[in-house]
Chains A and B, each alone.
Chain A
Amino acid sequence: MKYAVTFAEKHGGEEQSTLARQMARTKRRAKLQALALIAPLMLFLVVVLVLPIGTLLARGFDNGDAAALLPRTAEALSAWNGQDAPHEELFAALAGDLKEAAREDVAVLAKQLNYHDAGMRSMFLKLARKVRTAEAPYAPSFIEVNEDWSSPRYWRALQQVMPSVTDFYILSALDLMRDENGDIASVPPSTAVNLEVLARTFTVSASVTVMCLLLGYPLAALIARSRGTAANVLIVLVLLPFWTSLLVRTSAWVVLLQSRGVVNNVLAWLGMIDPEAPLDLIYNRVGVVIAMTHILLPFMILPIYSVMKGIPPVYMRAAASLGARPLSSFFRVYLPMTMPGVSAGCLLVFILALGYYITPALVGGPRDQMISYFIAYYANQVTNWGMAAALSIILLVAVLVLYVIYNRLVGIQRLRIG
Chain B
Amino acid sequence: MNERFISFEAVRKSYDGANYVVRGLDLDVAEGEFLTLLGPSGSGKTTTLMMLAGFEEPTHGSISLGGARIDSVPAYDRNIGMVFQNYALFPHMTVGENVAFPLKMRGVSKSQISERVSSALDMVRMAGFESRRPSQLSGGQQQRIALARALVFEPRLVLMDEPLGALDKQLREHMQIEIKHLHERLGINVVYVTHDQSEALTMSDRVGVFSDGVLQQIATPHELYEKPANIFVAGFVGENNVVPGEVVDIDAGLCRVRTPDGSVISAVAGEHVRKPARVVVVVRPERIVLAREGDEAANRFAGKLEEVIYHGDHVRLRLNLLGSEGLQVKLAASAITAPFSLGATIHVGWRPQDCRALIQS
Contact = CB atoms under 8 A, between A and B. Distances in A.
A411 to B, nearest CB: 15
A318 B102 CA distance: 10
A336 interface: yes
A416 B91 CA distance: 8
Nearest to B86: A314
A315 interface: yes
A295 B79 CA distance: 46
Interface stretch (A72-80, A320-328, A354-362): A320-328
A321 B81 contact: yes
Contact of A320 (B75, B91, B149): B75
A339 B91 CA distance: 12
B105 A328 contact: yes
B154 to A, nearest CB: 12
A317 B88 contact: yes
A417 interface: yes
B233 to A, nearest CB: 31
B139 to A, nearest CB: 15
B352 to A, nearest CB: 49
Contacts of B91: 337, 417-418
A324 B78 CA distance: 11
B105 A323 contact: yes
A322 B146 CA distance: 11
A336 B75 contact: no
A317 B75 contact: yes
A323 B84 contact: no
A332 B92 CA distance: 10
Given A314-B84, A314-B86, A418-B135, A322 B92 contact: no
A333 interface: yes
Contacts of A418: 91, 133-136
A319 to B, nearest CB: 8
Given A333-B90, A336-B92, A337-B91, A321 B80 contact: yes
B5 interface: no
Contacts of A329: 76
Given A418-B135, A418-B136, A318 B88 contact: yes
Contacts of B79: 323
A322 B55 contact: no
B136 A321 contact: no
B75 A321 contact: yes
A337 B75 contact: no
B82 interface: yes
Contact of B55 (A317, A323, A332, A417): A317
A322 B133 contact: no
A324 B76 contact: yes
Contacts of B169: none
Contacts of B174: none
B236 interface: no
B92 A325 contact: no
Most buried by A among B74, B76, B82, B133: B76
Nearest to B55: A317
Nearest to B74: A320
Interface in B287-321: none
A317 B88 CA distance: 9
Interface string B116-137: 0000000000000000011110
Nearest to B158: A321
B84 A322 contact: no
B101 A324 contact: yes
B106 interface: yes
Contacts of A321: 53, 75-76, 78, 80-82, 150, 159
Contacts of B76: 320-326, 329
A326 B101 CA distance: 14
B186 to A, nearest CB: 17
A321 B84 CA distance: 10
Contact of A318 (B78, B90, B135): B90
Nearest to A415: B133
Nearest to A314: B88
Nearest to B77: A323
A317 B80 CA distance: 12
A318 B84 CA distance: 8
Contacts of B159: 321
B153 interface: yes
A318 B82 contact: yes
A417 B102 contact: no
A336 B98 CA distance: 14
B149 to A, nearest CB: 7
B84 A337 contact: no
Contact of A323 (B86, B88, B106, B135): B106
A418 to B, nearest CB: 4
A318 B85 CA distance: 11
A417 B92 contact: yes
Contacts of B133: 416, 418
Interface string B139-154: 0000000000110010
A322 B102 contact: yes
Interface string B313-337: 0000000000000000000000000
Nearest to A339: B92
Contacts of B55: 317, 320
Contacts of B101: 319, 322, 324, 332
A337 B48 CA distance: 29
A313 to B, nearest CB: 9
* 6 cross-chain pairs, A with B, having the tightest CB-CB distances, nearest first: A418-B135, A322-B102, A318-B88, A321-B82, A323-B105, A320-B75
16 contacts: A314-B86, A315-B88, A315-B90, A317-B82, A320-B76, A321-B76, A321-B159, A322-B76, A322-B150, A323-B79, A326-B76, A328-B105, A416-B92, A417-B135, A418-B133, A418-B136
Given A318-B82, A322-B149, A417-B91, 7 more contacts: A321-B80, A321-B81, A322-B153, A324-B101, A339-B92, A416-B92, A418-B134
